Chains A and B, each alone.
Chain A
Amino acid sequence: MSLLKLPQRAGFRFSFVDSFLWAVRIGALVFIVVGIFGTPGIPGGPVGSLAKTLSGEGVSGEAWRGLVVTGLAQGSMYGMIALGYSMVYGVLGFINFAHGEVFMSGALVSFFVADSFGSSGFWDSQPVLALGLTMLVAMTTSTIVAVLTERIAYRPLRGAPRLIPLITSIGMSFFLQYTFRGLFGGGFKAFPQAPEALQGRATIFGVEILKTQLAVIVVAAVSMVVLYQFVSRTRMGRAMRAIAEDREIAALMGVNVNRVISLTFAVGGAMAGIAGVLWALLFRQVYFLTGFLPGIKAFTAAVVGGIGNMAGAYLGGLSLGLVESIGPLLVLDGWGIPAVSQLKDVVAFSALVLVLIYRPTGLLGERLAVEERG
């Protein structure tokens, strides 16, 4: 009795594709484990990043902690942007590729407020109020851009084949980029340094963290909790979930579908606006293309977490941020690959592929509408 026949008899089909996927899974696991731990006892084999650290040659423990915090901060912003992708996918079933530009619009417009606060001294004298007002402007801008985009570009296409709004969203992405370039110029806008209260480091559980990174992580987490409460406990939140579940039945139950879809875009836009200010605080440079790459990464995060799943989007963002930050040094450096940092994006997108191979519905599973589920 051959081994290949055994699963068939038991009711399984073990196809060539299955074999290939298992080989990829095992190969990836071996690659990661060897990259981290090396091959002790095998002369000339990979040393492993952990072994390097323990021998004092590689990345120090302090640097690893710094990478983790950086990854969490970066991932928090990915997560907040990813919420917009995920929510829109939940109610409309398409990917709004212009969402990165919604994020950029908030960051870019808030620059002018922050810059005037910075030059007037208000930024440092009243940091909480100044940051709050800056965030309010960013949220308002992003919300308006998101709602207008839905009203003008997507609503007329409601009911059209899904490819059409998808392509429209790519067009909207370019339209918004170059509209903002025309309005505010193509140069980089240097966001003022974080208020003095947020400069320097804070010690949390014995770990030194840059205060701006800490602020980004905390604000993102609080925003996520507030959004989760809004969606799960309020009447409008229930309406959003109802439409995400089954738009037609929701409409029959008296839910104003257009209004709720607009609200979904507005909420996603507001979260992107907050992320825009956090981004500007952390990286202090914004320009008309600021939203492009974070938008792609956030979309990736939404898929990693489980598209349509809000908590998944946030978790996907955090995971992606961490993988990007520590992955190259943790895995690739252990194999002795030079200049590993340039492979950051390779690592991030490889992680996406691996997650989809191991768990095709994402970390927390997809939330699909009735028609999506078939």
Chain B
Amino acid sequence: MTKKMKFRHLGALVVVLALVAAACGDDDAGTTTTAATGATTAATAAPVAFPPEAGAWGGVLIEAGAPVEIRTMQALADAVAFLGVDQVRGTELAMEDYGDILGHPVNLGTTEDDLCLGEGGAAGATNIAAQEGVLGVIGTTCSGAAYPAIPILNAAGIVLISGSNTNATLTSDFQGNAGENWMDNYLRTAHNDLIQGAAAAIFAYDNLGLRAMGTIHDGDPYTSGLAAQFGVTFTELGGEIVVATSVAKEDTDMVPVLTEVATGEPDGIYFPIFQPAGDFIIQQVGGVAGLENVQMYGADGLITPDHFSIPETAGVYYSGPDLGFDANAGFTGESYSNLVVRYEAAYGELPTAAFHAHTYDATMMLLHSIESVAVEGPNGELWVDRRALRDFLYGLSDFPGVTGTLSCDDFGDCGGNVVSVILNEDPSDPQAGIANVVFRAGKGAGGEVVILPLDG
């Protein structure tokens, strides 16, 4: 009996030790992260000169044949899944086009769901930061999810590149002042809301002749920031924001909020929110007394074929990133028009949102930068210095992308910052509506909005 007990204890000890060893082991066999001190923990014998001394953020040693680890973090569930899934596809297509990095395959791992919320961003970033050897993350879908994700990844020396975050505080005000949420591991290929909000207001005031506007956001930093910037510029132009209000993302009955807006007797309503709340607003606005003839004006969160096929969207304007990409070719020479064909062939549907192209470019930037800063070892290993990767990304200039030529500024804004306003004239042909650009604007040299020609 005593012997049996001893064996049981011994067995239990072995199991516990095995579990501890497994928990402490590498999740991703073949990659080893080194600390910022430069002391390497390479698993295999290497020449003295390799790997080189790590920079301030440490580095990653990728053994021969082992994959280069990148991750993606997007909104995959709930109402904004169409935006996140679209971007995961953009990343997958970019990886397919780019191929291996110096003989190493690229591994995307498991996509984290950012939930389009701060909680999701924090959880996803924590999961990724805990994994060995991850060099960069593509995401998040929503600006609100990026807020907590950035510092967590920053502490781990991991760069985060978003294809759809547009909130101005994540980068800068274009006047040389960092946004309050900016950190130096963050970049984006999407536009900055300062440009979109201002351009949207200029179009409303100058082109549509609107003088009294209501704005509706949903509390998300993207929507509230955009509505606020619209209001600032519109007021500066001489217009008036008669009602600025908000809805909850889950709301379905929009009559109360629209009634509230109607009390201000606006000429138009700017509602830069997502589906399905945006769908409900557009469907119900005609039934609210006093709003029968107001000009409705949405934004990029609603530029989807689903939304554009709603009959009440006829005559509605939408501000968003300029989508005239067809003639562009990306880093590998892939044209945007062909990318869409491949997208449809691979996923059985046309792109569900606009930002797959931006995410495609973000992924290309990351892969190209990793390849550029990677140091090859004598036995097929790769050494990637995290800080060097970050610096390379920030130094990118005239990078050919399917969304246009990308150049990163000192605060990580890499996108072309060209926005457009489109008009949906015929809901039975939503793709034609999405392509129907009626106004284009971009960022001038001083960060101001400049009007661009439609065929530019």
- Pair A325/B255 contact, Cβ less than 8 Å: yes
**Interface: A193 (CB within 8 A):** yes
Say which residue of B79, B275, B289 sits within 8 Å of A63 (CB atoms).
B289
> Nearest residue in A to B79 (C-beta to C-beta)?
A289
Q: Which of B246, B256, B275, B310 contacts A329 (CB 8 A)?
A: B256
Q: Collect the chain A residues with CB atoms within 8 Å of residue B375's CB.
A: none
A190 within 8 A of B: yes
Q: Smallest distance from the beta carbon of B348 to chain A beta carbons, Å?
A: 10
Interface residues on B, range: 35 or more
A191 to B47, CA, bound (A): 66
In the assembled complex, the CB of B87 is this many whole angstroms from the nearest CB of chain A, namely 14
Number of interface residues of A (CB under 8 A): 37
Contact A190 B310 (CB under 8 A): yes
B252: which A residues are within 8 A, CB to CB? 283, 285, 293-294
- Chain A residues closer than 8 Å to B78, beta-carbon distance: 289
Known: A186-B77, A186-B81, A283-B252. A342 touches B290 (CB 8 A): no
B306 touches A66 (CB 8 A): no
Binds A, one of B100-108, B201-209, B257-265, B406-414: B257-265
Contacts of B288 in A (CB 8 A): 63, 66
> B85, B257, B259 — which one has the most chain A CB atoms within 10 A of its CB?
B259
A341 touches B276 (CB 8 A): no
A59 adjacent to B259 (CB under 8 Å): yes
Chain B residues, Cβ within 8 Å of A292 = 250
Q: Are B352 and A187 in contact (CB under 8 A)?
A: yes
CA distance A67 to B290 in the complex (A): 13
Cβ contacts under 8 Å, B244 to chain A: 338-339
A293 and B253 alpha carbons, distance in the complex (Å)? 12
Closest Cβ of chain A to B392, distance in Å, is: 36
A37 to B256, CA, bound (A): 20
Helix, strand, loop or mixed for chain A's interface? helix
- Give the segment of B23-31, B160-168, B176-184, B279-287 that binds chain A: B279-287
Closest residue on chain A to residue B251 by CB atoms: A344
- Measured CB to CB, the closest approach of chain B to A17, in angstroms, equals 33
| Residue in B246, B260, B306, B352 whose CB lies within 8 Å of A333 | B260
Q: Which of chain A's residues have a CB closer than 8 A to the CB of B257?
A: 341-342, 344
Contact across chains for A190 and B309 when beta carbons are under 8 A apart? yes
B256 in contact with A285 (CB, 8 Å): no
Q: Mark A338-360, 1 if CB is under 8 A from B, else 0.
A: 11111011000000000000000
| Chain A residue with the shortest CB-CB distance to B252 | A283
With A60-B289, A283-B283 given, is the CB distance from A66 to B255 under 8 Å?
yes
Given A67-B255, A325-B255, residue A283 in contact with residue B280 (CB < 8 A): yes
B249 to chain A: closest CB distance in Å?
A: 10
Min CB–CB distance B222 → chain A (angstroms): 16
Q: Which residues of B contact A294 (CB under 8 A)?
A: 252
Q: How far is the CA of A284 from the CA of B276 in the complex (A)?
A: 10
B290 contact from A63, A287, A326, Cβ within 8 A: A63
User: Closest B-chain residue to A57, C-beta based?
Assistant: B263
User: Which of the residues B85, B259, B275, B311 comes within 8 Å of A188, measured between beta carbons?
Assistant: B275
Are A60 and B290 closer than 8 Å at their CB atoms? yes
Most buried by A among B245, B246, B289: B289
Question: How many whole Å from A289's CB to the nearest CB in chain B?
Answer: 6
Q: Is A74 positioned at the interface, with any CB of B under 8 Å from its CB?
A: yes
Question: Is A101 positioned at the interface, with any CB of B under 8 Å from its CB?
Answer: no
The reply to whether the CB of B248 lies closer than 8 angstroms to some CB of chain A is yes
On chain B, the residues within 8 Å of A329 by CB distance are: 256, 259-260
| A138–B290 CA distance with the chains assembled, in angstroms | 36
* Most central of A58, A188, A328, A329 by chain B CB within 10 Å: A188
Is A293 within 8 A of B260, CB to CB?
no
Instruction: For residue A188, give the distance in angstroms from its CB to the closest CB of chain B.
Output: 5
Contact assessment for B256 and A328 in the assembled complex, using a CB-CB cutoff below 8 Å? yes
B27 to chain A, nearest CB (A): 26
Bound CA–CA A74/B287 (angstroms)? 15
Q: Which of B285-318 contact A (CB under 8 A)?
A: 287-290, 306, 309-311
Write the nearest CB–CB distance from A349 to chain B, whole angstroms.
13
Q: How far is the CB of A33 from chain B (nearest CB, A)?
A: 21
**A341 touching B279, Cβ below 8 Å:** no
A70 interface contact, C-beta 8 A? yes
With A190-B306, A190-B310 already in contact, the answer to whether A342 and B246 are too (CB < 8 A) is yes
- B246 partner residues in chain A, CB cutoff 8 A: 339, 341-342
- List A contacts of B311 (CB < 8 A): 193
Contacts of B245 in A (CB 8 A): 338-342
Q: Mark B225-264, 1 if CB is under 8 A from A, else 0.
A: 0000000000000000000111110111101110110110
26 pairs, CB–CB < 8 Å, chain A vs chain B: A60-B290, A63-B288, A63-B290, A66-B288, A70-B255, A187-B82, A187-B306, A187-B352, A188-B276, A190-B309, A193-B311, A283-B280, A283-B283, A285-B252, A289-B78, A292-B250, A324-B256, A325-B253, A325-B256, A329-B256, A339-B244, A340-B245, A341-B257, A344-B248, A344-B256, A344-B257
Q: Which 3 A-B pairs have the closest CB atoms?
A: A341-B257, A339-B245, A70-B255
Q: A59-B263, A187-B81, A345-B248 are in contact. List 7 more A-B contacts (CB 8 A).
A: A59-B259, A63-B259, A283-B283, A285-B275, A285-B279, A342-B247, A342-B257
| Interfacial residues, chain A to chain B (CB-CB below 8 A) | 57-60, 62-63, 66-67, 70, 74, 186-188, 190, 193, 210, 283-285, 287, 289, 292-294, 324-326, 328-329, 333, 338-342, 344-345
